[in-house]
Amino acid sequence: MATEDKFDSQSGLTIESLEGDVEERKVPLRLLRSLIYGAPLATNKDEDLNRLPKLLALPVFCSDAISSVAYGPQQILLALTMAGLFGAQFASTYTHHVMEISWCIFTVLVLVSLSYWQTIFAYPGGGGSYIVTKDNLGEKAGLFAAAALLIDYVLCVSVSVASGLQNLKDVPVLHGLHIGEHLVLYAIGAILFMTWLNVRGLREPGLLFAIPFYTFILMSYVLIGVGLLAPVLHFPLHAEFANQVVPKDMQSMVLPSAFGAAVLLRAFATGCSALTGVECVSNGIPAFKQPQSKNAAQTLIFMSLLLGSVFIGIALLSVKLHIVYWEHDGLTAPAVIDQLSGTVFGKEGPTSIFYNIMQFSTALILLVAAQTSFADFPRVTSILAKDGYMPRQMGNLGDRLAFDNGIIVLSVISILFIIAEKGSVDLLIPFFTIGVFQAFSLSQIGMVKHWFKLRSPGWQVKALLNGLGALATITVFADIVFEKFLDGAWFVIILIGVLLFIFNTIYNHYKTLTDSLALPPTGQDGVVDAKTVVLVLVQGVHAGTVASLRYAQSISDAPQAVYVEIEPEARDAFVQKFKTRFPKVPLVILPSPYRSLVHPLLLYIDKLEKTDPQTIITVIIGEFVSDKWWHPLLHGNTGLMLKLALLSRPDIVVTNVRYRVSSESKATV
């Protein structure tokens, strides 16, 4: 029902205010949709209500970066262990190099954070690396950054979920769930659950994820503090849970003499996975409450402080306890966080409750880390869609002001990676960081050019900061490509190429379509008189036939009824019945010796077009609608088949005339 319509006398436009409800038979569907998505949010009225304060934005956009401390130091230990360093056996060398690499990664973190702090204020509309690179280095470079970002977001979901479950598989109270044996199924379930949360809108996941996020931060500081100060506090450690050896058959495969610069570079490359997610805040600026840029910048700095301090603390505690992490013959040592919390708190006794809290909060924040991708992947794809490089549906907001299509695409591809790599963190990591640092590098180079173009006050210092950030990220990117190429980086490079091909294919399609639909100058439309032929498909004489013919007569003075003769023996009875009921309507009989409905009709249409190429042919197909969902299963749905066949012909107008058949009414002929 329309109420309080607004009419603009100058433009001649009427804006209607629509109220009321859909008809009663559709209510169950609306209830189901409401259960899945929640109550719809109005674009203008509720959009600001869905924006995030800093307290909730931190877990939504920073969980990826913060949670990476669960696998960043672990990857450093893995690289050093596989090179022949076995914790306590080479304590001095082991400790020196772990901390050396960790401080290098910390330095890169500082440079990247300062660089993106500037990006937030320079580009308050969000978009991160894609927008910055496109604006300063051109469309092609921007698409490279976008492809890298999208791959990063997908792998963030896969790695985070797999790592979260890895931290739970050795928790004693969960042994009955057999997480290690069914990790892929649990991972798929977790991704689907997060998909459901996100199609309901950002605010609800923010509230839900804040608890594990802040619990993990608190427990990390407790773990690091108690572990490092245990001798001072006279706190007993449980060394039996610190894995300080590797399998004997693995020891024979590696030699300390093989250790060198290549191993350090490899450890650095894999450890830089701890920096993934740093740019996510700059992508999601529009989701912050006002003032958006200021709130986003403060969130970024706070995130960097948390990430840097926890990362260095975990590294220090790992070398103090001589933790070893290895992967061999498809088996892995317990996760590093599991070893640390088990050693500090114990897995039994009164303090084991802290072990359980630490492990559950670690697993949950790793699952929450995937939320960063669920927040940013759809936003980046929506920007690409607006620029014509992704399907336009990716830019559509759903009922809860979330980009539903982007969320679903992210979910599906992440699940495919989980299945392909069997949920192994160590197999997924090589795919991970290359896209991150490619995007980092392009963004920082773009920001340097941005300051040189803008030359605003203090631009030299800003350009220097971004230049240092670019130098650091390019160095890491080159290291990752060199060290991880055979481990999976080659696949990511190919995947980036595939995405670039997809981007350009979609863009060319939209450009061709736009050019084809462009109007000539006014007065040169080339509109000529054309003959209209209206064909009404009839296979029986009933109320639906009346509805179709009534509509046909409203658009044409002489519509034709077309009957496809599948059963010759039934033709005479049909013709007599039709002529008795509709004596003035021309009837065309199309023989079909091979019992096809579609082929004879297409041949007849071809004949009409050859007779007069300017003819506009409209085909009217009747379709009944029942009040019972199962009724269509009892019918052949020939109307749908005909419609699909005719829709492939651009020269034909296809119209459906629907008529309702109630289960309580009698058939009308």
Residues 222-258: tens digit of each pLDDT: 999 999 998 888 888 888 887 766 666 655 555 454 4
Encode 307-367 in three state secondary structure: HHHHHHHHHHHHHHCCCCCCEECCEECCCHHHHHHHHHHCCCCCCHHHHHHHHHHHHHHHH
Burial class (CB in 10 A: 0-12, 13-18, 19+), 365: buried
Buried/exposed 29-50: b ≥16 CB within 10 Å, e otherwise: eeeeeeeebeeebeeeeeeeeb
pLDDT at 660 over 70: yes
Rounded to an integer, the average pLDDT of 373-391 is: 85
pLDDT at 343 over 60: yes
Of 261, 270, 240, 245, nearest in space to 85 by CA: 245
Q: Which of 29-38, 202-211, 292-301, 565-574 has the lowest mean pLDDT?
A: 29-38
- Which CATH architecture does the domain made up of 532-661 adopt? 3-Layer(aba) Sandwich (3.40)
Quote the pLDDT of residue 340: 92
Please name every residue paired with 240 in a beta bridge, in sequence order, or none if there are none.
none
Degrees, nearest 5: CA angle 35-40-44:
165
Of 263, 245, 259, 255, nearest in space to 79 by CA: 263
Please name every residue paired with 656 in a beta bridge, in sequence order, or none if there are none.
621
pLDDT at 46 over 50: no
In the chain, the amino acid numbered 618 is T
Rounded to an integer, the average pLDDT of 159-168 is: 80
* Residue ranges covered by each domain of the chain: 29-511, 532-661
Q: Which of 73-87, 300-314, 345-359 has the lowest mean pLDDT?
A: 73-87
Quote the pLDDT of residue 286: 80
d(CA 542, CA 167): 67
d(CA 566, CA 564): 6
Q: Which of 124-138, 390-404, 408-422 has the lowest mean pLDDT?
A: 390-404
Q: For the whole prediction, is pTM greater than 0.85?
A: no
In the chain, the amino acid numbered 260 is G
Tell me the pLDDT band of 398, cut-offs 50, 70 and 90. low
High-pLDDT (> 90) share of the chain, %: 16
Q: Convert the pLDDT of each residue in 563-588 to its tens digit.
A: 988 888 888 898 999 999 998 899 99
High-pLDDT (> 70) share of the chain, %: 79
Quote the pLDDT of residue 5: 54
- Which CATH architecture does the domain made up of 29-511 adopt? Up-down Bundle (1.20)
Quote the pLDDT of residue 215: 92
Quote the pLDDT of residue 1: 42
